[in-house]
Amino acid sequence: MILINKLQRKRVVAAFLGLVIALTTNQAVKAQNSYSIGTLENGSRDRTFIAQVFRQLNFDSIYYQTLSEADNFYQKGELNKAKEIQQRVKPGFNPKDILPPAFDSVSQLDARGQEYWRIANNAIEADPETEEEITNGVFVPLQNLVKENPGFIPGHILLADTHDLYREEKEALAVIERASEMYPAREDVLDTRIDLLLLYGQPLEASIAAREFAFNNPNNPKSKAYEQAASGYFNDYKKKLNRKITTSGILGTIGQVATGNELGALEIGQALLAGEAAAGQSFAQSIKAQSKMVNNTEQLKYLNDIGQRLAKLMGRDEFDYEFNIIEDPTPNAFALPGGKIFFHTGMLELMDSEAELGGVLAHEIAHSVLSHSYKRIGESALTGTASNLIGSMLGREAGIASNVGGLLLSQKFSRDKEKQSDILGLRVLDASGYAADGLYNVMAKLKRLSGGGANLLSSHPASEERMRYLEELIQTNGYNRYGYEGVDAYRRVFPR
Between residues 383 and 423, which one has the greater pLDDT?
Answer: 423
Asked whether residue 139 carries a pLDDT value surpassing 80, the answer given is yes
pLDDT, tens only, 230-242: 999 988 988 887 7
Between residues 356 and 36, which one has the greater pLDDT?
Answer: 356
Between residues 140 and 417, which one has the greater pLDDT?
Answer: 140
Of 19-23, 127-131, 406-410, the poorest mean pLDDT is in 19-23
pLDDT at 400: 39
Contact 158, 120 (CB under 8 A): yes
- Taking the C-alpha atoms of residue 80 and residue 55, their distance in angstroms, rounded to an integer, is 26
Closest CA to 125 of 156, 152, 162: 162
The secondary element (H helix, E strand) that includes residue 333 is strand 333-336
Q: Could you write out the DSSP letters of every residue in 347-381?
A: HHHH--SHHHHHHHHHHHHHHHHTTHHHHHHHHHH
Contact 417, 372 (CB under 8 A): yes
pLDDT at 266: 54
Q: Is 291 left (phi over 0), alpha (psi -120 to 50) or beta?
A: beta
End-to-end CA distance of the chain: 64
Average pLDDT in the 100-129 region? 94
pLDDT, tens only, 249-298: 444 443 333 333 344 555 666 777 777 888 888 888 888 888 899 999 99
Q: Could you write out the DSSP letters of every residue in 66-101?
A: HHHHHHHHHHTT-HHHHHHHHTTTSPPPPPPP-PPP
Q: pTM of the full predicted structure?
A: 0.75
Of 266-275, 278-287, 310-319, 320-329, the poorest mean pLDDT is in 266-275
The secondary element (H helix, E strand) that includes residue 309 is helix 297-311
pLDDT at 372: 86
Contact 188, 153 (CB under 8 A): yes
Asked whether residue 392 carries a pLDDT value surpassing 50, the answer given is no
Q: What share of the chain is helix, strand, coil (3-state, %, to 5)?
A: 65, 5, 35
Measured in degrees and rounded to the nearest 5, phi and psi for residue 395 equal 85, 0
Measured in degrees and rounded to the nearest 5, phi and psi for residue 432 equal -85, -5
pLDDT, tens only, 397-433: 334 344 555 555 445 667 778 888 898 999 999 999 9
CA distances for 403 relative to 132, 281, 295, angstroms: 52, 14, 21
**Residues near 437 by beta carbon (within 8 Å), at least 6 away in sequence:** 90, 355, 359, 470, 474, 481
Asked whether residue 149 carries a pLDDT value surpassing 70, the answer given is yes
Band of residue 54 on the pLDDT scale cut at 50, 70, 90: low
Band of residue 88 on the pLDDT scale cut at 50, 70, 90: very high
pLDDT at 447: 82
Closest CA to 420 of 383, 466, 451: 466
